[in-house]
Each structure stands twice: as structure tokens, then as C-alpha cells.
């Protein structure tokens, strides 16, 4: 007898999750019922309720899992003396972000473009912001800041969100590496220099 873990519960969860996102392609989340989920996933109601309290618990667990995976993918390790990050280092960070989005495209396309859960974007931005705050606290020197740190964080992550949404909406016309390189240049060089305005002489 196989002493390993029974794979059936995971298969059931996966079928229910897959069915939820299939339904979200054509139905608002508010109209999806447990019966629709169990019928489409070919599981009975008792199996559904063995895993989830209701459809909201199902969605919350899916979001929790993806935010954990996102943080694992983009977590910045190590601290050190304050220093300007190199273009290469910033690009590697953003490439991990874009690769993560690419690997979980169905989830992010649904959540960012269809907006079935209104609180998701705030949750997504908070996850990005938490990572940046660790870096800012470890590496920035308050005396040399030119703008309010919190406003800068909101500006940076808001711009990234817009770029990610555009990338997904247009069918990912550029590779993750290209997107990471372009975003890194925007971050490291700043808006004015990136757009090509001539530098002002002092």
C-alpha cells in the first residue's frame, strides 16, 4: 500500500480552482455559485466544503497562495551600505517579477484585467510596496532624499502596475527580459532622462 500522501484532495482543489477561472472569463464573480463550481469541476458539494467555507474563501486562498509566490519570486535579499543600485541589478529584479507574472498569466490576466475582486489590486500593490520598503529602509539616506518616500513608493509601484496591465492586455508583445530592461532604465535614469530630454547645464 502506498504510504505517500493521497493526491486526490489536491486534484479536487486544482479542478475547483481551474473551474473558477474558467467561469470568470464569462461571469462576474458575484454571479458564480458553488453549484456552478462543483458541476463544472465534476466534484460533489461535500468535496468543495471539505476545502473551502464558500466561494469567497476559495478566492482568498487562491490570492494568498499567489501573493506568497510573488513575494518569494521578488524578495530582495541582503542589506548593505547605502548605494545607488546598478542597472543590471535592478533589471534582474524586474525580470523575476515579469517572469512570475508570465508563469501565472491566467491568474493575473483575470485579476488585473477583469477585476473580479475589487480589493485584489490593493493587495497586489501592498505586496510590492512591502518589498520596496525593506530596501528603502536598508539602503536610502534620509538626508539626500529629494521627495517624500511614501509618495515615491506609490508613484513607482503605480507605474509598474500600469505597465503590467498594458503588457497583459496587449498579449505580452515583449519578452520578460525586455520589459525588465525598459522598466529598469525608467527607474534608474528617471523620467526626464529616459524620455530623451537634453540635460540642463548648471
Would you list the domain boundaries of the chain? 1-52, 62-195
- Looking at the structure, give the CATH architecture of the domain made up of residues 1-52: Orthogonal Bundle (1.10)
Residue 50 CA to residue 153 CA, distance in Å, equals 41
Helices 87-103, 149-169: axis angle to 10 degrees equals: 50
pLDDT tens string 107-125: 999 999 988 888 899 999 9
Residue of 74, 17, 9 lying closest to 41 (CA atoms): 17
pLDDT at 1: 40
DSSP states along 111-133: IIII-SSTTHHHHHHHHHHHHHH
pLDDT at 6: 57
All residues at 6 or more sequence positions from 140 whose CB lies less than 8 Å from its CB, including other chains: 82, 149
Rg (CA), the chain: 21
Q: What is the reported pTM?
A: 0.84
Q: For residue 108, with 0-12 CB atoms within 10 Å meaning exposed, 13-18 middle and 19 or more buried, which class applies? A: buried
CA–chain centroid gap for 121, Å, is 9
Please give the C-alpha separations between residue 50 and each of 55, 65, 104, 141, 199, in angstroms, as whole numbers. 12, 18, 26, 51, 63
Question: Please, are residues 186 and 159 in contact by the beta-carbon 8 Å criterion?
Answer: yes
Residue 167 CA to residue 159 CA, distance in Å, equals 12
Q: Domain 62-195 belongs to what topology?
A: Tetracycline Repressor; domain 2 (1.10.357)
What is the dihedral sign for C-alpha 27, 28, 31, 35? positive
Q: What are the pLDDT tens digits along the chain (202 aa)?
A: 444 555 667 889 999 999 999 999 999 999 999 999 999 999 999 999 999 999 999 999 999 999 999 999 998 765 555 556 788 988 999 999 999 999 999 999 999 998 888 889 999 999 999 888 877 776 666 667 788 888 988 999 999 999 999 999 999 999 999 999 999 999 888 888 888 887 766 5
Residue 12 CA to residue 98 CA, distance in Å, equals 29
Query: 62-195: same fold as 1-52?
Result: no
Residue 85 CA to residue 175 CA, distance in Å, equals 23
Amino acid at each position: 500500500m502506498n504510504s505517500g500522501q493521497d493526491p486526490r484532495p489536491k486534484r479536487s482543489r486544482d479542478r475547483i480552482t481551474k473551474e473558477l477561472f474558467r467561469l470568470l472569463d464569462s461571469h462576474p464573480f458575484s454571479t458564480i455559485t458553488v453549484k456552478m463550481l462543483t458541476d463544472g469541476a465534476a466534484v460533489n458539494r461535500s468535496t468543495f466544503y471539505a476545502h473551502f467555507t464558500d466561494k469567497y474563501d476559495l478566492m482568498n486562498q487562491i490570492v494568498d497562495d499567489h501573493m506568497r509566490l510573488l513575494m518569494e519570486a521578488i524578495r530582495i535579499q541582503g542589506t548593505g551600505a547605502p548605494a545607488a543600485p546598478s542597472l543590471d541589478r535592478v533589471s534582474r529584479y524586474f525580470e523575476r517579477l515579469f517572469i512570475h507574472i508570465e508563469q501565472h498569466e491566467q491568474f493575473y490576466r483575470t485579476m488585473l484585467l477583469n477585476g473580479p475582486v475589487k480589493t485584489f489590486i490593493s493587495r497586489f500593490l501592498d505586496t510590492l510596496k512591502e518589498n520596496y520598503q525593506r530596501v528603502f529602509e536598508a539602503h536610502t539616506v534620509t538626508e539626500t532624499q529629494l521627495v517624500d518616500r511614501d509618495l515615491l513608493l506609490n508613484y513607482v509601484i503605480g507605474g509598474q502596475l500600469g505597465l503590467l496591465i498594458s503588457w497583459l492586455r496587449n498579449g505580452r508583445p515583449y519578452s520578460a527580459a525586455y520589459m525588465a530592461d525598459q522598466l529598469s532604465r525608467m527607474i534608474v535614469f528617471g523620467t526626464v532622462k529616459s524620455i530623451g530630454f537634453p540635460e540642463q547645464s548648471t
